[in-house]
Amino acid sequence: MAEVIAFVSIKGGVGKTTIALETASSLANDFGKKVLLVDANFSAPNIGLYLDLTNEFTLQDSLSPSGTLLHNAIYESHGIDIIPSSLYYNGEIDVFKLKKVLGKFKSRYDFIILDSSPNYEELKPVVAAADKIFIVTTPDDMTLKTSLKAAVIAKEQETPIMGIIVNKIRSPDYEYCLEDIENIAEIPVMAKIWDNKCMAESLYKKKPITILNSKSPISKEIRRFTSAISGNPEEKKFIERFWVFKNLMGKEKVNRELLRQKFYEEQF
């Protein structure tokens, strides 16, 4: 039975789509998981554009009164099953049907990954459909405090918040460190991702970073994160292979070990 995981934030531009796509790609291609990636950003979807998908049917068709069968909206790309959303859908939809519609497909996948809208109202049905959520933020004060509004929705709906992904780290001297973020958010940091030009290259070539360059810093950190939620051991960094540094472990890695245990315990 699939775990439904949503990546959320009430702030545009933090990289939710990138994190959702790369997580789905890594789970499928690095760990052999059956993954369904859903673009649940109803008003400004990006995944179909990101991967240059030609969409006859989209998620909105399945949420409309006519209720087009969801399997008609599933497309395959880079080893992932994908349900895109339409940028120009004008019909009536019931966004709160999302949980019910996805529920029929949980037995077919190991993971269902949800990208979300930064719109407060559009985020509610995504959180309701998810089994677990991860908050995506950049390490600046304004974005962090805005992104954490998503935690309020999750708590209202009693959807577990599993951690924070800190994305687009650029200038640590002028940004929050992981300890600051955890103290402010009271939520553990699960991954820290530095800004990198491979993000632009990925968009240009319309391929996930984890496929385009598996050795990039972003791919490696995503793989460390997905190893935790897939229950696989985390590969050691080169420096950690030496006994002198065997206890050298960043806070985010400690958090991932705890996360790995939680996912493992729930599966058995």
Could you give the CA distance from residue 268 to residue 42 in angstroms, rounded to a whole number?
35
Strands in 9-156 per DSSP E: 35-40, 75-77, 80-83, 111-116, 132-137
Q: What's the mean pLDDT when you consider all of the chain?
A: 91
Could you give the CA distance from residue 179 to residue 21 in angstroms, rounded to a whole number?
27
pLDDT of 253 reads: 87
For residues 236 and 151, the model is more confident at 151
Say what percent of the chain tops pLDDT 70: 93
Q: What pLDDT, in 10s, does the model give residues 87-109?
A: 888 889 999 999 999 999 999 99
Strand order in the sheet with 161-169: 75-77, 80-83, 35-40, 111-116, 3-8, 132-137, 161-169, 189-194
Structural fold of domain 3-267? Rossmann fold (3.40.50)
pLDDT of 146 reads: 93
Domain borders along the chain are: 3-267
Number of helical H runs and strand E runs in the chain: 12, 8
The mean pLDDT of 125-145, rounded to a whole number, is: 96
The mean pLDDT of 107-112, rounded to a whole number, is: 97
Q: What pLDDT, in 10s, does the model give residues 26-73?
A: 999 999 999 999 999 998 999 999 999 978 899 999 999 887 889 899
**pLDDT level of residue 125 (50, 70, 90 thresholds):** very high
**pLDDT level of residue 267 (50, 70, 90 thresholds):** low
Residue 162, pLDDT above cutoff 60:
yes
Name the region of 98 (left: φ>0; alpha: ψ -120 to 50; beta: rest). alpha
Say what percent of the chain tops pLDDT 90: 77
Q: What angle do CA 31, 34, 36 make, to 5 degrees?
A: 120
Q: What pLDDT, in 10s, does the model give residues 202-254?
A: 999 999 999 999 999 999 999 999 999 999 988 766 544 544 444 445 778 88
The mean pLDDT of 178-186, rounded to a whole number, is: 94
Residue 115, pLDDT above cutoff 50:
yes
